[in-house]
Amino acid sequence: MLDFPRWKVTLLWLVVAVGILLSIPSLIAGTPYAGSWPRWMPQYKINLGLDLAGGSHLLLEADSADALKQRLQSMEDAVQTELRRDPRIDVGDVSTAGGRISFMVRNPTQVDAAVERLRTLTKPVALTGNRDWDVQVVDSTRIVLTPSPSGTAQALKDAMSVARDVVRRRIDPGGTKEITVVTEGDNRVLVEVPGVENPDELKKLIGQTARLEFKLVDLSANPADAQQGRAPPGSQVLPMADGRGFIVVKRRVMVSGDQLTDAKQSFDQNGQPDIDITFNTAGARRFGRVTQENVNKPFAIILDDKVLSAPNINEPILGGRAQISGSFTVQSAHDLAVSLSSGKLPVKLNVIEERSIGPDLGKDSIHKGALASAVGVAAVMIFMLVTYGRFGVYANIALIVNAFLILGVMAMFNATLTLPGIAGFILTIGAAVDANVLINERIREEIRRGRRLLDAVETGYREAMRAIFDANVTHVISAAIMAYFGSGPVRGFAVVLLIGVVTSVFTAVYFTRMLVALWIRRARPRALHI
């Protein structure tokens, strides 16, 4: 057991050297020496959690009612478009009451054809064998489209991944910042932005769904009815964005924000902030055609179901470019432009948890944490030295190597160090010597029992191993559960504990055993002072 061949010694030192090398970039980060670390050396670095680096944490939850509504609306648009295509199928008013799309087919002979064509709009849901919408015929002429549960679930999943990408583009249009945007669970998005102390800016960017639509104004509507919220069939009543009254528009969407390629904040001829938008080819063609057909009629520019403005179409707009005016400030026009060019959110997101940490608190925590770590390690080392002498020195070398290894492994996995993580680090340091205490006490015991030196050391390491193993498994169980259930900072704590368990067994058992073996081989001691 104390027989250490040369290759084993080399391997152990190699692991230690790699660990130390990996930890250095994280240790010198933020100090004047950071620049002098050679480029060809490993550059892995430990991330600082938001509680140390400062920043904002937002947990967003999808508004599932809004998701259903949006899905229903886009299906309705698709149905209308499909039925108008040649050969046209005439239908009565389309109702979306009760979360279903239903309408009468005027010509009973066309019912089968309509069902056939609508079925092509539905998609199979992966792995279920169902389609995302059920198309049924009721009372021989009424067609009803009902969303299937698996289709709804799949749609939410798709919506969440689109929402995640949209949120990322809005917060970080350049794609250069170190932000975290991930989906969590079925219907949540977690956003973490280091360095942003005030999350209000973020929330403004995320808060808008930014669903832009152009619809024709329904001039046939009776204004009195509109005030009551009643609209003629095929039209709807929408509020003005500035809160001044209502306007009746046709339900049919002329062009929507999906067909934009770009949006920029600009100024109109009066010097008021507005937004320049550019349509893609299909959007430009459609916008051109609709404006051509409706010259001298007003159309409404609608954002998130509120009418921004309803200008008159003076002439056909053919170039695929348009300006949106409203009562904007430069900032709100800019925010809206960012939101529009990043695409609409497929579902409205509500903030359900929000945490922000100033940069000074983090710096103070790092400073105090580092100091506490240093003092704690020093105190434990002095205690080990006076208790075990030479064997205490070996345990202390293992302790220092362990500290470097924990940092090195964390850097290699790009793990995040949080404030509780610092506590985990100190706890691991304190507990890591337990393995050496177990071994050394056992050696003392075996010597008292009269074993010879080599035999005592060998038995000490072997007999202590069982308890060390079992104790560490209990730590792994609790840390793993913590990593699974914990969020952010707490998970950071668990990660440090998990890494610490592995590295401390390595240093406290294998590494010290090598040091002891080399010493015995070199000095050939007669008696053990332990």
Partner 1 sequence: MKLLKLVPENTNLDFMRWRNVALVLSLIATVASISYTVYRGLNLGVDFVGGQLIRVSFAQPIDVEQLRSKVDSLHLGDASISEFGGPKTFQIRLPKPAGNASANAVATRVKQEVEKDYPGARIESVDTVSGKVSEELADNSALAIALAMIGIAIYIWFRFEWQFGVGALLTLAHDIAMTLGFFAFTRLQVDLNVVAAFLTIVGYSLNDTVVIYDRIREDLRKYRKMAILQLINLSLNETLARTVVTSLTVLIALGVLMLIGPEVIFGLAIAIFLGVLIGTYSSIYISAPVLVWLGVKPDSFLKSDEEKAAEAEPA
Contact pattern for partner 1 over residues 190 through 219, marking x by CB under 8 A: ---------xx--x----------------
Residue 448 interacts with partner 1 (CB under 8 A): yes or no = yes
**Closest by CA position to 132, among listed 145, 151, 149, 116:** 151
Residue 354 interacts with partner 1 (CB under 8 A): yes or no = yes
**Closest by CA position to 496, among listed 430, 438, 439:** 430
3-state secondary structure of 430: helix
Residue 530 interacts with partner 1 (CB under 8 A): yes or no = yes
> Minimal distance in Å, beta carbon 441 to partner 1?
4
Residue 290 interacts with partner 1 (CB under 8 A): yes or no = no
CB contact at 8 A, 193 and 56: yes
| Of positions 419, 495, 499, 515, contacts partner 1 by CB under 8 A | 419
Q: Which stretch binds partner 1 (CB under 8 A): 67-75, 121-129, 137-145, 433-441?
A: 433-441
| Of positions 116, 186, 242, 364, contacts partner 1 by CB under 8 A | 364
Q: Taking the chain, what is the end-to-end CA distance rounded to the nearest angstrom?
A: 20
* Residue among 54 and 147 whose Cβ is closer to partner 1: 54
| Of positions 93, 112, 353, 455, contacts partner 1 by CB under 8 A | 353
> Minimal distance in Å, beta carbon 193 to partner 1?
14
Q: Binding to partner 1 (CB under 8 A): which residues in 94-133?
A: none
Residue 484 interacts with partner 1 (CB under 8 A): yes or no = yes
Give the alpha-carbon dihedral of 336, 337, 342, 348, to 10 degrees: 10
Q: By rule CB under 8 A, what count of residues binds partner 1?
A: 75
| Of positions 13, 33, 383, 413, contacts partner 1 by CB under 8 A | 383
Inter-axis angle of helices 200-207 and 330-341, to 10 degrees? Answer: 60
Residue 331 interacts with partner 1 (CB under 8 A): yes or no = no
Residue 527 interacts with partner 1 (CB under 8 A): yes or no = no
Strand duo 416-417 + 47-48: pairing: parallel
Q: Rounded CA gap, 171 and 351, in Å? A: 15
Give the alpha-carbon dihedral of 253, 254, 257, 260, to 10 degrees: 160
Q: Rounded CA gap, 436 and 516, in Å? A: 12
> Minimal distance in Å, beta carbon 239 to partner 1?
18
Q: How far is CA 12 from CA 3, 17, 19, 496, in A?
A: 14, 9, 11, 22
> Minimal distance in Å, beta carbon 330 to partner 1?
22
> Minimal distance in Å, beta carbon 353 to partner 1?
5
